Structure 1
Amino acid sequence: MLYFNGRTNGMYKILHLFRLGKFANDNIKFMNENFSNNYHEFWIYGSRINAETKLDLHSFKNVKYVRNIIEKLRTKKVYDFDKIIYHGVFEQEIINFFAKERKLLKRLYLYFWGGDKFYIQNNKWNNLKKKYVIRNAHGIINILPEEKGYMQKYYHPKGKFFCAKYYADYGLMKSIKEQKQVEKDYIAIQVGHSATFTNKHIQIFHLLSKFKDESIKVYVPLSYGNKNYAQRVIKEGKKIFGEKLIALTEYLCEDEYDQFLKHMDIGIFAMNRQQAMGNIQTLLYFGKKIYLRDRSVLVHYFRNEKHCDICTINEISKMEYEDFISFSDISKKNNGRMIEALLRIEPRIKAWNKIFND
C-alpha cells in the first residue's frame, strides 16, 4: 500500500540527499515501496569504489547517482523541490552549501544518524556554520527521542523535531527467529558493530579478559568504518583472546548478518549515542542478552521507553562468569515481545509520513 504525502493543492516534491553506503539500497526501496515515488527523488553521492554496498540504479527511476554533489547542488535544480532531507549530516561541504544558500533552510530537514551531531574538533569556523544550519533548518530528525535534549543544549534549533527510523525487514527476522538454534559448545559474544572508536572495543576486551579461559568466542564486526582502527582492534583482541577472537571484516548481506546475530548469545555495545540500533533491536528480538553503557541514551531508550530487560556494562567487572552469561526465558520473551512491536512497518511509515506531510 502506498501512503501519499501531500497538501491540498498538490503533492510535495521531496529531494533526499544520501551518501552511498550500507543504508542506501534498503531505505530507498522502503521509501519507494511505501510512499509515492513520483514525488521523491534521491541524489546518491560518494565513491562507488569505496562504498560498502553497491547501488542498484536500475531498480527505481527516481534514483540518480551524482559524481559531485556540490556541483549538482549549485545547478539550482535543488530549488525545484519543496523539501530537502539530508540523511546523515557528515559532509562539511554540504553544510557549507546550505549555510551559503540560506533561502533553502526553510525547506531543509536534517536527519542525524549519531556521530554527525558532534562539533568538529579545532575548527571553529566550520562549527559556526554547522550550528547556523542546524539552528535554522526547518526540521531536525533523530532516531531516538532522547537525542532532542542534546540538540537543544548545543544548537538551539528553531525548527521542528521529529523522530523516524529506517527500514527493518521484520519478515526476514521473524523467519530466522523461527529457525532452530544451532547447538554450540561455547558462548558467542558480540562486541560492537563497526570499526569506529565509539564502540570502545579495546576497553571491553580488557573488561572481558577475566573470562578468556572460559568457553567463549568474541566476535567483532569490523566491515565498515576506519580500517586502521579495525587493525588495532584485531591486534589487541588477538593478544588477549588468541584464536577466540573472530573479526568480521567482509560485508555480509542482510540475511547473512541476521543469521550471524542469531548465532550470538551476548551483545555488548559501549557507545553513548544513537548507534548500532539495528544490531541491538535484532539481538533483543532474538532473545539475546544485551549490555549497554550505563546512563547512555540507548539504555534510557530500550530500558525506560521500550521496557526491555537490559544489563549495563559497568556490572560486568563485579560478575562471575555464570552471572555474566545467564539470561532468563522470561526476559528473552519480554524483550522479543517489546521489539516485535517496535519492528513493525506501520509505525515507521507513520513517522515518515508526518515529516513528508509537514
Structure 2
Amino acid sequence: MTKKILHIASSTKFIFPFINLVNERFSPVDHEFLLTTDLAEDEVVYSENVKLFLVNTLFLRIKYHLVLVMKMHQADRVLLHGLFSFRLVQILFFTPWLLKKCYWIIWGGDLYSRGVGVKNWRWKIREFFRGSVIRNMGHLVTYIRGDVELARDWYSAKGQYHECLMYQSNLYKFYEIPEKNRSVINIQIGNSADPTNNHIDVFEKLLPFKDDAICIYVPLSYGSKLYAEKVIALGTELFGDKFRPITEIMSFDNYLEFLGSIDIAIFNHKRQQAMGNTITLLGLGKTVYLRSDTTQWALFKEKNITVRDVVDFKELDFCFNKHNVDMVEKYFSMENYHRQLDSLFD
C-alpha cells in the first residue's frame, strides 16, 4: 500500500519545478500539494493534486486552516516546505500527535528567525511555540548537516535527519562559459535586497580597488525596496558607474549567463543563505567568498569544495577552479537528488 504524502508550501519560485518533478517521477495520486498564494503564484500549473488557497481575508484563512488540519490528519506523511507560518506552528503545537509524521524541510530563514527582531514578550511567546514544535518534530530534512546541529543545539530537536537537496535550484548547472575577452573584473555582491547580505561591509572591502578596472553587480530584485534604495545610493556614491544594481527579475537562462560572466562573488551572510547562487557559481568554477562561521562553509569543506573567507579578502585574485566544478557536479547532481527523493518518499 502506497503512502499518502501531503506537501504544505507557499507559492514560491522553488516549489513549482519541484511539483512538476514529483508528478513526473512519482505517482501524483500519492502526493498532494496545499499551496498558499505568494510572489510566484502566477507560475502555478494546476493539476488534480495541487490546490491553491487565497488567504487574504479572515474567512479564507479560517477555511484554509480547517482544510490543513483535516488533510494533515488524513496523510501518512506531512512535508513542511519551510516553517515560516506562525499559525502553522500554533496548529502543530496544539496537535502534537501529528509531529511524528511531519518532515520539516529547513530553508534557513525559518531556523535562524530566532535571532531576528527585538526579544520582547512577543518574541518569547513565538519562541515558546516554535521551541516545542521543533523539539518534537519527527523528521528534519536538509543537505546542510550544520543546520540540523543548530536545531538540536538551539531547540533540542530530536527528529531523524534526512539528507536531501530538495529543490532543483540547488543542483549543478552546466553552462558553456564564453572565453573572456575583457580586462574588467566582474564582482557580485550578495543575492538580494535583504540586510542580511551586509552589503556595506563588502563595499568597504572593495573601496581600495575603486580605481581599478572593476564592475560591481548587486542583485536587488528580491527583498526590501527601502533597503535596496539605500544600497543603490551608497554604491553609486562610492563607485560611480562601476556600480551596477540589478533591480529586475531575470529569466533563468539570462541569470545563468550573468553568473557565467562573474569573476568573484562575495556572500557576506552571517547565516546559511543564497545557496542556489553559491552552488551555481562554484559549479561554474568561480571564485566565491563566504563567512567561515556559517553552516554552508562547513558543508563545502566537507564536500572538498574550495571557498574563501570574506575576512581574508584583500586582493582581486580569482581563477577558474576545475576541481570545484567536478566536486559540485558529483554531489549536487540530478542522479544524487533522485536517490535522495526516492529515499525520502519510500
Name the TM-score, length of structure 1 as normaliser: 0.87
Match of 2:33 in 1: 42
Asked if 1:72 is matched to 2:64, the reply is yes
Does structure 1 retain, via aligned residues, the 8 Å contact 2:6–2:71? no
Matched, 1:55 2:43: yes
1:72 CA displacement: 2.0
Correspondence list, 1:265-276, <5 A: 265-276=263-274
Question: Of 307, 312, 316, which aligns to 1:315?
Answer: 312
Q: In the alignment, what sits opposite 2:296?
A: 298
Cα distance in 1 for residues equivalent to 2:62 and 2:145: 31
Say if 1:70 and 1:94, in contact at 8 Å, map to a contact too: no
Shift of residue 179, structure 1, vs aligned partner = 4.7
Change in CA separation of 1:209 and 1:263 when aligned onto 2, cut-off 3 Å: same
Q: 1 CA distance for matches of 2:224 and 2:307? A: 29
Contact 1:18–1:88 (CA<8 Å) still a contact in 2? yes
Which string of whole-angstrom CA distances, capped at 9 and with x for unpartnered residues, describes residues 253-294 of structure 1? Answer: 211111110011111111233211111111111111111112
| Structure 1 unaligned spans of 5+ | 1-9
Q: Structure 2 stretches of 5 or more lacking a match? A: 56-60
Q: 3-state DSSP class of the match of 1:54?
A: helix
Tell me, what secondary structure is at the counterpart of 1:162?
strand
**CA gap 1:52/1:171 in 2 versus in 1, 3 angstroms:** closer
From the superposition, tell whether residues 105 and 169 of structure 1 become closer, same or farther in structure 2 (CA, over 3 Å): closer
Q: Name which of structure 1's ranges 189-198 and 74-83 shifts more when overlaid on structure 2.
A: 74-83
Seen in structure 2, the aligned counterparts of structure 1 residues 169 and 312 have a Cα distance that, compared at 3 Å, is closer
Aligned-partner residue type, residue 310 of structure 2: I
Q: Does 1:96 align with 2:90?
A: yes
Matched residue type, 1:100: F
Matched, 1:342 2:331: yes
Q: Quote the residue 1:356 is aligned against.
A: 345
Offset at 1:215? Answer: 0.7
Mean Cα deviation higher: 212-221 or 155-164 = 155-164
Letter in 1 for 2:10: R
Structure 1: distance between partners of 2:162 and 2:16: 23
Give the C-alpha shift of residue 169 in structure 1: 7.1
Give the 3 Å change call, closer, same or farther, for CA 171–108 of structure 1 in structure 2.
Answer: closer
Map of 1:134 onto structure 2: 134
TM-score between both structures, scaled by the size of structure 2: 0.90
Report the counterpart of residue 58 of structure 2 in structure 1. none
Give 1:114's match in structure 2, choosing from 108, 122, 125: 108
What percentage of residue pairs aligned between the two structures are identical? 32
Counterparts in 2 of 1:272 and 1:352: CA distance versus 1, 3 Å = farther
CA distance in structure 2 between the aligned counterparts of 1:335 and 1:103, rounded to whole angstroms: 44
Q: Does 1:31 align with 2:29?
A: no
SS of 1:188's partner is strand
2:77 pairs with 1:83: yes
Q: Describe the superposition over 1:34-66 as per-residue Cα deviations: whole angstroms up to 9, x where unpaired.
A: 22222111111134xxx15632333x3321111
Cα RMSD of the aligned pairs, angstroms, is 2.0
Q: How has the CA–CA distance of structure 1 residues 28 and 150 changed in structure 2, closer, same or farther, with 3 Å as cutoff?
A: same
The one-character-per-residue Cα deviations of 1:177-236 (angstroms, maximum 9, x if unpaired) are: x25235333111011111222211111111111111111111111111222222221112
CA contact (8 A) 2:165 2:171 kept: no
Q: Give a deviation string over 1:63-94, Cα, whole Å, max 9, x none.
A: 11111365323232332211111111111111
- Asked if structure 2 preserves the Cα contact closer than 8 Å seen for 1:57 and 1:65, the reply is no
Distance 2:247 2:43 in 1: 20
State the aligned residue count: 333
Equivalent-residue separation in structure 1 for 2:20 and 2:4 (angstroms): 18
1:127 positional shift: 0.8
